[in-house]
Structure 1
Amino acid sequence: MRVFGVDPGLTRCGFGVVDSGRGRTVAPVAVDVIRTPPEMELSQRLLRISNAAEEWLDLYKPTVLAVERVFSQHNVRTAMGTAQAGGVVALAAARRGIDVCFHTPSQVKSAVAGNGAADKKQVTAMVTKILGLAVAPKPADAADALAIAICHCWRAPMLSRMAQAEQAAAEQKRRYEARLAELNKTRLKKAGTP
């Protein structure tokens, strides 16, 4: 599976692509940070991020796009920009029929560093170690994008099994309710009620 991880942001949007292998092995493919100047008009900043995302999607052909979910931030304006940046990348993937998954910051930190409250230094150190990189990816947005991709590689099998279990449970419930309705119908007939 090839995963394109995105750490969304307007000023710095981290992009990272990894390939997953057997078990928990993960190999780096590419990493970069897309920058847009704060003085640029919002629509132009989003267009720059969208264009870069489309180039990466076409160049690296990921199986899935993993985006960090905007959880909560004190600055509403920053949160909006972050969400918009993630949205244009997700839209570019969706247009190509590529699955899009969102992971919260604590899920990413927990998967990569073993602690949902890990700081950026810990995440960067673990990404560097997991991918066997000689040099830590910089800035932190680059390391975060790789962390998001790694998180998805490791969480995807569990998420898939959970979805299959939920589907099987829903089917079992549907069959049970149909059987119950049939039994009730039979009881009513035996009791002489039309």
Structure 2
Amino acid sequence: MRVIGIDPGTAITGYGIIDLEGNRLSVVAYDCITTQPTMSMPSRLQHLYRQLEMVLRHYRPRQFAVEELFFQKNVRTALAVGQARGVAILAAVNAGLAVAEYTPLQVKQAVVGYGRAAKEQVQYMVRALLGLPEVPRPDDVADALAVAICHAHYLQSAARIRGETRG
């Protein structure tokens, strides 16, 4: 089962694609989509949408997971991230994918086993769980892979509850 995780943002949107086979996780691809600060917000959102469309077409994930917006002190930042989330969700839905959403607390719990884990702990576990030589950079990419891992764990748990095995 191929899963894409998204950490949305208007300046940097991280994505991570993993395969789940039985209990094994393997990394397929990870990177980020960036926009220039000189671009208008509508142009940034359009660029993000088009790039995500290309990623979804190329890698053909069967599952899509995105990080939920958490409380931001800066309202302007929260609104911009919300717009990027909306664009990412639209790209997923237009590609025929259902959307799973996870809070940062849920992601940390799934990846580290502790919902209040530090960012460095999450990054270490992403590297370890996927057998990567180093922590993916920038942080948005590691966060996107963590979202994908979180959803993969959810899929495994749901399959166990139904009495199925994944492969």
TM-score by length of 2: 0.92
The SS at the match of 2:85 is helix
Partner of 2:131: 132
Say whether 1:96 aligns with 2:95: yes
Task: Give the 3-state SS of the residue equivalent to 2:31 in structure 1.
Answer: strand
Residues 160, 94 of structure 1: alpha-carbon distance in 2 compared, 3 angstrom cutoff: farther
Runs of 4+ in 1 over 4 A off after TM superposition: 159-162
Greater C-alpha radius of gyration: 1
Matches of 1:158 and 1:114, distance apart in 2:
15
Partner in structure 2 of residue 47 of structure 1: 46
* Structure with the largest fraction of helix: 1
C-alpha deviation, 1:33, in angstroms? 1.1
**CA deviation after TM superposition for structure 1 residue 37, in Å:** 2.0
The secondary structure found in structure 1 opposite 2:106 is helix
Shift of 1:161: 7.4
Q: What's the CA shift string for 1:62-91, capped at 9, x where partnerless? A: 001100000211111111111111111111
1:159 shift after superposition: 4.9
CA-CA distance at 1:43 after TM superposition = 0.4
For the residue of structure 2 that corresponds to 1:53, the secondary structure is helix
Task: Please give the residue correspondences for 1:39-188 in structure 2 after superposition, counting only pairs within 5 Å.
Answer: 39-159=38-158
Q: Distance in 1 between matches of 2:154 and 2:63?
A: 13
More RCO (CA 8 Å, sep 6+): 2
Corresponding residue for 1:22? 22
Secondary structure at the counterpart of residue 65 of structure 1: strand
How many Å separate the matches in 1 of 2:90 and 2:160? 26
Aligned length, in residue pairs: 162
Residue aligned with 2:58, SS: helix
CA distance in 2, matches of 1:15, 1:154: 17
Q: Which residue of 2 aligns with 1:7?
A: 7
Gaps of 5+ in 1: 165-194
Counterpart of 1:151 in structure 2: which amino acid? C
Question: Identity percentage over the alignment?
Answer: 45
The residue identity in structure 2 corresponding to 1:45 is R
Cα offset, 1:160, TM superposition: 6.6
In structure 2, the partner of 1:171 is none
1 CA distance for matches of 2:143 and 2:128?
14
